[in-house]
Structure 1
């Protein structure tokens, strides 16, 4: 999906927001309300998102991976984002889900994509790469690891 050429700007934006959520685990509402004040760096120069979840107010602490940083940079000069005071070009959840159906068809993805799929994707990939469930829970802003288990469907590789 990342490397696929999009036929228009609308789908490019939807793809970027979806991929950003896949890389960060942010829920749709948290991606929509992401602002400059939520981004910071540590002494080693690593960038982080520190943002309370919209749904629960629990603080999420999320490492900002290089590709996610590039997405933020891409929209740092976007007039629509600047007008809204937001970092990402997020449309309504209903429109995003509708556009994600188009995106799935263009990318030959035989799955119903929704904004919420991004959180599941993040959790599954993080598990696949060996991130502990407790850490994933903190990134997702969950207060209990059992909530995270719902998102993380274990793959054969993660079980081994």
Structure 2
């Protein structure tokens, strides 16, 4: 009988110890998950920060403004019609394309009124509604 009680005690102690290990494992898994999420955030932050060291970011805004102005002036007069300058290599107005390259260029282009002061909209050509809508959405 004493032997049976000792075995029960050993079994109960083993169960308690196993429960403690399971609790410790759960805490460690939670900590590991938090650490993995923090690592991912740090990696994303590092990638974003690397963008600020790119050669494009080091070019002064004034130079970009001059380049964008020259690009706009170098192409034929553009309008919002579907057969936009068929001989042009661009798929749309230069200022619209410039503003869609990256957020840095968009910020520069939208802050430069002379880029947007000469856009012509030819309503007599019957612009397709989807085209005009997409251009209106892009301008906001």
From the two aligned structures, give the one with the greater strand fraction: 1
The verdict on a shared fold, with TM-score over 0.5 as the criterion, is no
Structure with more contact order per residue of length (Cα contacts < 8 Å, sep ≥ 6):
1
From the two aligned structures, give the one with the greater helix fraction: 2
TM-score (norm 1): 0.20
TM-score (norm 2): 0.22
Larger Rg: 2
